[in-house]
Amino acid sequence: MSIKEYSPNGFALNIFRDRYAIHEEETFAQACERVSRTIADAEMGTKRDEYFVRFLDILQTNRFSPGGRIWRGAGRQRGQMLNCFVWTDDLDSREGWGDALRGVTIISGTGGGVGINFSRVRPRGTLIRGTGGEATGAVSLMRAINAVCNELREGGGRRSALMYCLKYDHPDLMEFLESKLDKKELNNANISVVIDDTFLKLLDAEEDVVFKWHGDEMRRVPAKDIWEKIVENALESGDPGILNIGLANTMNTISYRHDLVSTNPCGEIWMPPYDCCCLGAVNLHTHIIDGDIDWDMLEETVAMSVRFLDDVLDQNNYPMTIIKETCQKYRRIGLGVMGLHDMLLELDLKYSSQAAIDVVDKVMDFVKKQAYHASIILAVEKGSFHAFDVDQHIRTGFVKKCLPRRHHRLIKEHGLRNCALLTIAPTGTISIVAGCSSGIEPLFQPVYERRFNTHKDMHNNKARDKTMEIVVHPLLKKFLKAKRSTKHFQGAHDIQPNAHLAMQAICQKHIDNSISKTINLPKDYSVAQLSAEMRKYIGELKGITVYRDGSKGESPLVPLPLSEAKKHLDHMTEEAAVDDCPTGTCDTMKGEK
């Protein structure tokens, strides 16, 4: 089952060469062979050659793309192929602080991002027994880790990607929120506030959150004030996000609870300490054949993708022994999708329509069932993940509520290879290389004006040659040339926030991990509007991240109406350069997902 082999060109080819090629002359086809061979070597005997061929097929035909770290790390000496990790929350000691600084330094040095929950760090001003001094608080440790990452970057390393989160009832919460927006600190981190059902009940009842430490009350703040501060900051700068630990616990897939343990930097996977995310994405767009979804091909792609990512866990060079042991214990993978909006466009569906929601519901349900079936087959062949407990696993929220009874029976009989299998990552530059829309995001804009500098004087920052070009998405050009209707084309800012949230919510029903999705907001969106929409959907989502147009400064990308594409059809640049960044600012923290 094969389709035409794919080869990136233009901007996509430049990104591939810059980020993923092992040397300047390596072609995309050669990279596919390198990656496929490295991962297939995890198989035994003659299966190595069999799965080399099958992995190669899904890569060369652009049906599946591994995460950026896999593209870059496979086949390299000491290649580290995992995107992100979670550090322990056991931080409330000098040793804990030192271990965190050491761990972040080592992990960041291998190209991995790090998520940390600081909720167990004693708050600012509390007494330190033994020294008689006072604690400097959770935010001071955040600053220390951020400073280390600044030095790593100055030393020529890749930009560190961090997730800092703090529970809503930690006494340092308000300092945490102010540090990012008001003081412009923590520049290497996305930040999120961890909430639960108790907080939502306090919010709805207009009651106070009691800030406590070890049972001692330190102060009270109305839950409404905390919520409004979160919403105002998110509207102003995109930070903080919200992480719903209540839903994460309810829909957990293994027996430990996430009471304090964090997500990776983009928020798409909740993990216990020292766990990792092993990412890859099915390109839904390439599974549209003759105007319809090829379900047989999609089934094959999902099965091969699950096996591929499971093999990555055995082939990876881990940054620390404890991380390797944890990853082998749970064998967590994160298979996601990209090209979702491209798929909808090919099916003549508007992203914000109910018809699109219905199709996505069907597709994600199919991917979920096929992924779990593939993991069951792998358990028969290779054994279940080490921490697997059949009685506990069958009772977990996601398995019980989201998988059919047939899967329950098969898991009981045969086990499961991976503790969790599915996620929606941003996909970042891998979607650029694949020439498709990112994750479950809509296109940034079908046609836009890109403003850039063709020359910069290294000795004079003001000496620049400013220019612009009109960029059109390949599908729009295809539709226009074929004289097909383009009424269903939308950009991220053409879609109302509730439609963004509805798309995320329908996907979350079928995802055992979590979802990274940007909720785009108009420039004039109000705090009251955002508060109402977030409260409406937060019970269905494990996390929410928003971006208000213009909140991160002037964008180099200016959306244009479709009429501009028609006027300039013969002179437009065709590329999918920024479909991975719905903000139009290309956040490099999400760059290699």
Work out the burial of residue 159: count CB atoms within 10 Å of its CB; fewer than 13 is exposed, 13-18 middle, 19 or more buried.
middle
User: Do 360 and 340 contact (CB within 8 A), yes or no?
Assistant: yes
Among left, alpha and beta (phi > 0; psi -120 to 50; other), residue 422 is beta
Give the phi and the psi of residue 57 in degrees, each rounded to 5.
Answer: -65, -45
Q: Beta strand 189-195 with 241-244: parallel, antiparallel or unpaired?
A: parallel
* Residue 268 annotated as catalytic: yes
Side-chain half-sphere CA neighbours of 181 within 13 A: 21
Q: Shortest CA distance to 208 belongs to which of 222, 227, 190?
A: 222
Per annotation, catalytic residue among 264, 418, 513, 520: 264
Per annotation, catalytic residue among 43, 268, 441, 592: 268
**Residue 97 and residue 52: Cα distance in Å, rounded?**
44
Q: Give SS3 for 478.
A: helix
Amino acid at 486: T
Side-chain half-sphere CA neighbours of 111 within 13 A: 21
**Residue 212 and residue 160: Cα distance in Å, rounded?**
32
**Residue 204 and residue 459: Cα distance in Å, rounded?**
57
Give the phi and the psi of residue 469 in degrees, each rounded to 5.
Answer: -145, 155
Structure tokens at 42: 């995890």
User: Do 433 and 65 contact (CB within 8 A), yes or no?
Assistant: yes
Cα angle value 291/308/338 (rounded, 5°): 35
* Residue 264 annotated as catalytic: yes
**Residue 443 and residue 584: Cα distance in Å, rounded?**
10
For 528, other C-beta atoms within 10 Å of its C-beta total 10
DSSP 109: H
- Cis amide bond preceding 66, omega within 30: no
Per annotation, catalytic residue among 149, 165, 266, 402: 266
DSSP 571: G
Distances in whole angstroms, Cα of residue 208 to Cα of each of 29, 223, 363, 552: 59, 5, 43, 32
Q: Give SS3 for 231.
A: helix
Q: Which residues contact 24 (CB under 8 A, 6 or more apart)?
A: 17
**Residue 141 and residue 123: Cα distance in Å, rounded?**
11
Q: Maximum distance among all alpha carbons in the chain?
A: 78
Which residue numbers are catalytic?
Answer: 264, 266, 268
